[in-house]
Amino acid sequence: MFESDNTQLDPTRLFAHRLHLDDNDPASPAPKLSRPEDAAKFINGSVFFVGTATCIIRWAGLTLMTDPNFLHKGDHVHLGPGIYSKRLTNPAINLEDIPPIDAIVLSHFHDDHFDSLVQKNLEKSIPIITTPQAAKELAKIGFMALFPMETWESTLIAKGDSKIIVTAMPAQHTPTMMPLALPETMGSILTFAPTHEESDAKVDEKRVGDFASKEVFRMYISGDTLMVEQLKDIPKRFPKIDLGLFHLGGTTILGTFIVTMDAKQGVECIRLIKPHTAIPIHYNDYDVFKSDLDDFKKAALESGLLSETEIVYLAHGDTYEFVLDKKRFGERLMMHAQLS
């Protein structure tokens, strides 16, 4: 269960929405910061790679899922007028086997990111943070807990003393000259902020970046995008990224138009965002993906990227465990616990 203030957006607020989750849910409890030793519960997190752009992110009692796609090998998705694609892989787990999910971060409403199986069987009350266009489409099929965000707007997810701030990043799914209309899309930054105070909420929107530059852990998710000019604003506002998930694949439709980053653009994007660690995803699941993981590995090696950024390669079903800097977080969390 959750409560929200999903009301008219106020551009003077740091958060477009607040999503307050039940921290006493026995299926997914949240840790408390009542004692200094509790700080250790907020240090570790993980990313479980399901396939395509679907990841399950866990941290401090919060579980988020990105772009749910649970179709199987041989299934087809509709990507646009007269455009279909066949799935070449299976997801690491089935939809019915996912853990309790607190919220979904959806980059855009496309069948390979929110498929027919998910549309039919996912609980309609699950909170979904997404684009305004996707929220309208989701509302038409019965989803009720929708949190639309324009670029640079943020939603606070709070569950006890665990807080994640989701901020919409610029992304562009289509090249400028492309005559086709594809769904609007967004990237996102997840800010893991266990000690953030609600009293900071009434501030100018420029403070989003100011807050993000404080001592927190940040994860960038590119969403389906090309290397477009708007992405250059991201490092200006968020100069420090700890972990990045990059949608690659060089998705090519109508035999000509590339609508997601290929290997070369992936290298360029990682160099722009400068995460400490980068994980390529969305690279081999559909027959419209024309730039596979081997292409990226070759480009990363030849470009010298491996000497600049740690690259982690995940197969379906692999888990990457991340650690929030103990020096950065430990003292602050223990201080927070002592004052609680």
- Rounded to an integer, the average pLDDT of 316-320 is 99
- Please state whether beta strands 275-281 and 310-311 pair in parallel, antiparallel, or not at all (unpaired): parallel
CA dist 318 and 298 (Å) reads 21
Q: Which pLDDT belongs to residue 179?
A: 53
Please give the DSSP secondary-structure letter assigned to residue 57.
E
Q: Which pLDDT belongs to residue 152?
A: 95
Residue 296: HSE in the Cβ half-sphere, 13 Å Cα cutoff: 29
Using an 8 Å Cβ cutoff, are 109 and 138 in contact?
Answer: yes
* Predicted confidence (pLDDT) at residue 133 exceeds the cutoff of 80: yes
- Rounded to an integer, the average pLDDT of 104-132 is 97
Q: Is 62 helix (H, G, I), strand (E, B) or coil?
A: strand
Q: How many CB atoms lie within 10 A of CB 132?
A: 15
Q: What is the topology classification, in CATH, of domain 2-339?
A: Metallo-beta-lactamase; Chain A (3.60.15)
Mean pLDDT rounded to a whole number for the chain: 86
- Rounded to an integer, the average pLDDT of 1-16 is 48
Both tokens of 99, joined, read 């853990």
CA dist 221 and 187 (Å) reads 6
- Lowest pLDDT segment from 121-125, 252-256, 285-289: 252-256
- Rounded to an integer, the average pLDDT of 125-133 is 97
Domain ranges of the chain: 2-339
CA dist 205 and 17 (Å) reads 13
Tens digit of each residue's pLDDT (9 = 90 or more) over 159-174? 988 899 999 999 998 7
CA angle 48, 54, 59 (to 5 degrees): 40
* Predicted confidence (pLDDT) at residue 207 exceeds the cutoff of 70: no
Q: Which pLDDT belongs to residue 196?
A: 45
Where do we find the tokens 């807050």?
211
CA dist 31 and 160 (Å) reads 7
SS (H, E, C) 95-116: HHHCCCCCEEECCCCCCCCCCH
CA dist 195 and 33 (Å) reads 10
* Predicted confidence (pLDDT) at residue 123 exceeds the cutoff of 80: yes
- Rounded to an integer, the average pLDDT of 287-292 is 95
Q: Which pLDDT belongs to residue 180?
A: 61
% of the chain exceeding 70 in pLDDT: 80
To the question of pTM greater than 0.85 for the whole model, the response is yes
Q: Which pLDDT belongs to residue 52?
A: 98
Tens digit of each residue's pLDDT (9 = 90 or more) over 57-92? 999 999 999 999 999 999 999 887 778 999 999 999
* Predicted confidence (pLDDT) at residue 1 exceeds the cutoff of 80: no
Q: Which pLDDT belongs to residue 132?
A: 97
* Predicted confidence (pLDDT) at residue 14 exceeds the cutoff of 90: no
- How far CA 17 is from CA of 174, 189, 208, in Å, comes to 28, 15, 13
Residues 6+ apart with CB under 8 A from 164: 59, 62, 64, 156, 157, 190, 191, 192, 193
Could you tell me the pLDDT band of residue 330, with boundaries at 50, 70 and 90? Answer: low
CA dist 151 and 147 (Å) reads 13
Class of residue 83 by CB neighbours under 10 A (exposed 0-12, middle 13-18, buried 19+): middle
